């Protein structure tokens, strides 16, 4: 559906997607533990739209896809993060599915990525939420260095702590990769980064607990999302469950 554009006769703000069309009701809504609430001016939330182009309640033929797709029964959750400024201009800032949710606190990964890209040795940066037994997930980052650059992971973590203003958003782990996974158009492919983080965290917990089982793959299940596949190595189901049941991402044994 058509939502907004910069006015033909009036100020055009570079980077904005403009102002809402007539009969388009655009709201910036934040999901909280107490339910959805409207964001303040210039506060980031999910861009939600109600207009004649939105078929409220039955957007998809497959009913399961309509679940949680609307706020207040009619505002389509676009999946885009954004804000509305004091003049009514709408700005897209990221994707809601990329949010890192730390103990109910929403963290925009762009804040971490932009900070790391400010380091002269960093060519590409991707931030995701890695599994955490207490907060659900905590921020971690992956970087690809400029060719020939020399810097350690510890140095980049210290740089992030200095330049990421929000303390909760400061990454708890950072990994330097030879090359970050990317899509055909050059965007960082974050599902692969999430699989890497799940494997590292789960195997670290299993090793610490003295359990011989190990995550050997992480698959993308259409209904369950990312699922860790665990090779048991003579460990029992109960042995693994005691270790991994504290995490939100599911696991399953494989032969």
Condensed to tens digits (0 to 9), the pLDDT of residues 149-206 reads 999 999 999 999 999 988 999 999 999 999 999 988 888 999 999 999 999 999 999 9
Domains detected in the chain: 4-95 (2.30.38.10), 100-188 (3.30.300.30), 192-254 (3.30.300)
Beta bridge partners of 137: 131
19-20 vs 105-107, strand pairing mode: unpaired
Residue 46: name the closest of 33, 37, 55 by CA.
37
Condensed to tens digits (0 to 9), the pLDDT of residues 126-145 reads 999 999 999 989 999 999 99
- Encoding tokens for residue 32? 């909280």
3-class SS at 82?
strand
The mean pLDDT of the chain is 90
Q: How does DSSP assign 13-43, residue by residue?
A: -TT--BEEPTT-EEEEEEEETTEEEEPPTT-
Residue 94 has pLDDT above 90, yes or no: no
Q: For the beta carbon of residue 115, count every other beta carbon within 10 angstroms.
A: 23
197 exposed, middle or buried (CB, 10 Å; 0-12, 13-18, 19+)? buried
* Predicted local distance difference test score (pLDDT) of residue 223: 63
Select the more confidently predicted residue: 205 or 10. Answer: 205
Element spanning 216, H or E:
strand 214-221
Separation between Cα atoms, residue 16 and residue 222, nearest integer Å: 34
* Predicted local distance difference test score (pLDDT) of residue 184: 86
Average pLDDT over residues 61-87: 85
Select the more confidently predicted residue: 64 or 156. Answer: 156
Separation between Cα atoms, residue 201 and residue 175, nearest integer Å: 13
* Predicted local distance difference test score (pLDDT) of residue 253: 94
- Encoding tokens for residue 52? 């004649």
Select the more confidently predicted residue: 138 or 103. Answer: 138
Q: For the beta carbon of residue 63, count every other beta carbon within 10 angstroms.
A: 9
Condensed to tens digits (0 to 9), the pLDDT of residues 216-242 reads 999 988 667 789 999 999 999 999 999
Residue 244 has pLDDT above 90, yes or no: yes
CA atoms within 13 A on the CB side of 187: 6
Residue 96 has pLDDT above 80, yes or no: no
- Encoding tokens for residue 83? 């804000």
Least confident of 54-58, 120-124, 151-155: 54-58
Does the predicted TM-score (pTM) go above 0.95?
Answer: no
Hey, CA dihedral for 121, 125, 131, 132, is it positive or negative? positive
* Predicted local distance difference test score (pLDDT) of residue 185: 81
């Amino acid at each position: 559906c058509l939502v907004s554009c910069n006015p033909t006769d009036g100020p055009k703000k570079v980077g904005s997607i403009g102002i809402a069309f007539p009969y388009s009701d655009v709201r910036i809504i934040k999901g909280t533990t107490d339910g959805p609430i409207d964001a303040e001016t210039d506060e980031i939330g999910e861009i939600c739209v109600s207009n004649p182009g939105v078929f409220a309640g039955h957007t998809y033929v497959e009913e399961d896809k309509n679940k949680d797709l609307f706020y207040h029964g009619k505002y389509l959750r676009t999946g885009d993060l954004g804000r509305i400024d004091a003049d009514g201009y709408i700005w897209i800032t990221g994707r809601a599915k990329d949010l890192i949710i730390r103990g109910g606190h929403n963290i925009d990964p762009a804040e971490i990525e932009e900070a790391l890209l400010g380091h002269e040795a960093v060519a590409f940066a991707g931030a995701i939420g890695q599994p955490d037994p207490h907060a659900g997930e905590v921020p971690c980052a992956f970087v690809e260095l400029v060719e020939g650059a020399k810097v350690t992971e510890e140095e980049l973590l210290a740089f992030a702590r200095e330049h990421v203003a929000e303390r909760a958003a400061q990454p708890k782990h950072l990994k330097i990769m030879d090359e970050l996974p990317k899509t055909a158009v050059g965007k960082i492919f974050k599902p692969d980064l999430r699989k890497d983080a799940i494997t590292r965290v789960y195997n670290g917990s299993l090793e610490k607990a003295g359990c011989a089982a190990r995550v050997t793959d992480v698959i993308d299940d259409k209904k369950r999302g990312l699922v860790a596949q665990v090779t048991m190595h003579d460990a029992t189901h109960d042995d693994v469950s005691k270790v991994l049941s504290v995490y939100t991402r599911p696991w399953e044994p494989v032969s």
